[in-house]
Chain A
């Protein structure tokens, strides 16, 4: 187990207020806060684009981020919106991965972000923390996948 470094991270308080704080021990939160940085984005700031190296992993503190897919010959479509507590940029948890979607702050937005490499390293060093990160990530990804499957059927298409 990795010991938290001395001194509190300035981001800990923000992290503690997010829903994800419920699944981590205080010592783990402290470790995560140490590798996190706070970012403020003005409305319409692009956070990343398809093809970008997936460097950062984000948690939304306030505001809204929209994920947009661009299909040649068609108007761009927002396929997901992310608000307080939502996590995004999962690609950063994988080694050498790239973005396949555009993330834009659709209004003034504050995020906590950490480097995917740093997070992976932390998980490697502390398997208990790693288990909780992955377990939490799996829970979110599974929900997103379930939501996506519902949307696949175009349920509003007929009748209702």
Chain B
């Protein structure tokens, strides 16, 4: 179905949309730009105005006609409405203040802020494409953000063809414009042709709106269709003929093979790391979650804020900055947007809108940067390939993955100085696999990822070192206290794959915690795991984690543990321990865990599990390489700053991987090209 509308008809269309209960959102002039925001009706549209764009430049100009959509694009599309820059996720009712210890939660409520459904007016083809990309991020799975999903599902979309592409547009390269394809997600599609509109219907909702216009919706004509086809074709031809193109062919592979290209340094000399490109990009989604705890309110809120991979905080982990240089941040942005996005979300993250070029204060042009790398790739033929992640297979939690449950601390066991194990009783049935982690949190301080270090009946064990505000608060909890828990998240140790093989587990410091569940399983099942060796390094004998338990696994160890061991004894387990330093009287090994590896002949055919400080992992892998262990026989767990745990906030990105959902347990070959590389 289609129709012809005059300006009056179009005005009435918007009135009708409003009367149907939608909040109108569309282009309007504000602060010298065409911004996308709330409008009252057709009069708020930038009638008679256009925008001139060039690298680092955006200006409004009068057109001298009455075109309603005669501009190119404002700085932001509907991203602001579909994923608000600041959004409350949950509210946590606070327990009473106590003399000692952190404030604990008493209840968790969804921040249900379902307002009027949105009517998104005037979306271009590239913006519809961007919305499809955002759909993949927020609702494509394995996790679904219910806030985005609900807004998106309720939104009415009135799209507009682009017949006058701007100077910076390159949507034909990305196959996302200029015309709005018939199969795109819209309720109505407009083509503005002089003083009238050709309207095509894309849904029943759209049809009802046209029907409601009565005689104002005149029959469309063949001339109008011909004019549309001609207009879209002419725009496409013009775009095709331009120098500015983005060749997407093999781009992920090209970029990840050129992580050390000198172009990144040249870029860094121009880039201000201001993050403007990420704020105007219609597909960027990185965010952070903060805890907002008003002094006088009985509730604390978890609030999501837009963030940018160009900020210092975004790549800060445990106080360390993983991407301190601008070159590393730009490289992260571009390799993610044009590279990893494809394997993560099934589509490139670029829709060719050109916003990042216009709004970059120094006019960096992403198409130029790609072309420069493509023209002179520096990757040697035998460069270590960076493996792009496979589609994630992590089982998703039902419901809102950001909504925590209230769990109860059953007991607290002091393991080492400033390290405790919290036994936590979750609500309902909780199933996890060793290697996975939970997000534990408290109001006021927020959440931290903590690996599950075992399960005892219905209790989940979490071993935590007090290093930051949140972990300090968690360590101060007492039996009976409550905390927020989300999980389980992430990948697990490949226990099924290890069956029948000799297994060597190499752990350092607290890195033993994520391995304990897997070790217990292997210790308990000698028929499945014929030989298990644990090589464990710690700072000192006093800082050996789970000492009693691990020593109890090895029958050949003579000295008795100080407390009764768990009944997991078995003859197929050997435990070797080394420390960095010890007081006289210690008769065990002193030295790094790699030295221990050299002392104990290790098989090139065994399977290896590794967890500990990243530097230890690197040295261990080097040693394994020396003895000829293949990369597909080694799994390791990476410690990175998981924040949302569901692959949406972008914080834990490690090259193309989200550690929270592609990891934390990776097979060595998946990340071999990144380990030890500066800026990742």
Contact = CB atoms under 8 A, between A and B. Distances in A.
Contact of A151 (B467, B580, B583, B611): B580
B584 interface: yes
B615 interface: yes
Contacts of B586: 66, 78, 106
A81 B588 contact: yes
Interface residues of A, number: 29
- Most-contacted residue by chain B among A80, A146, A158, A159 (CB, 10 A): A159
A72 to B, nearest CB: 16
30 contacts: A67-B590, A68-B584, A75-B583, A76-B583, A77-B583, A78-B583, A78-B584, A78-B586, A81-B578, A81-B591, A83-B589, A83-B599, A143-B598, A147-B591, A147-B592, A150-B615, A150-B616, A150-B619, A153-B615, A154-B580, A155-B509, A156-B509, A156-B580, A157-B539, A159-B318, A159-B465, A159-B467, A160-B510, A160-B511, A160-B639
Given A106-B586, A153-B615, 4 more contacts: A156-B508, A156-B509, A156-B613, A159-B465
Interface in A97-136: 104, 106-107
A79 interface: yes
Interface in B509-530: 509-511
A157 B508 CA distance: 11
Interface residues of B, number: 36
A160 B508 contact: yes
A104 B619 contact: no
A159 B639 contact: yes
Nearest to B586: A78
Contacts of A106: 586-587
B489 to A, nearest CB: 18
Interface in A34-78: 64, 66-68, 75-78
Given A78-B584, A79-B581, A83-B599, A160 B590 contact: no
B663 to A, nearest CB: 15
Contacts of A78: 581-584, 586, 590
A92 B508 CA distance: 34
Nearest to B513: A160
A79 B583 CA distance: 9
Nearest to A107: B587
Contacts of B467: 158-159
B612 interface: yes
Interface in B549-601: 578, 580-584, 586-592, 594-595, 598-599
Contact of B613 (A66, A75, A143, A155): A155
A106 B583 CA distance: 12
B35 interface: no
Contacts of A159: 318, 465, 467, 510, 613, 639
Nearest 5 pairs between A and B by C-beta? A156-B509, A155-B613, A81-B590, A156-B539, A78-B582
Contacts of B594: 147, 150
Contact of B592 (A75, A150, A158): A150
B543 interface: yes
Contacts of A75: 583
Contacts of A79: 581, 590
B538 A156 contact: yes
Contacts of B611: 160
Contacts of A150: 592, 594, 615-616, 619
Contacts of B584: 66, 68, 76, 78, 104
A160 to B, nearest CB: 5
Contacts of B615: 150, 153, 155
A79 B540 CA distance: 10
A77 B582 contact: yes
B508 A155 contact: yes
Interface string B352-365: 00000000000000
Contacts of A155: 508-509, 612-613, 615-616
B625 to A, nearest CB: 14
Contacts of B587: 64, 66, 106-107
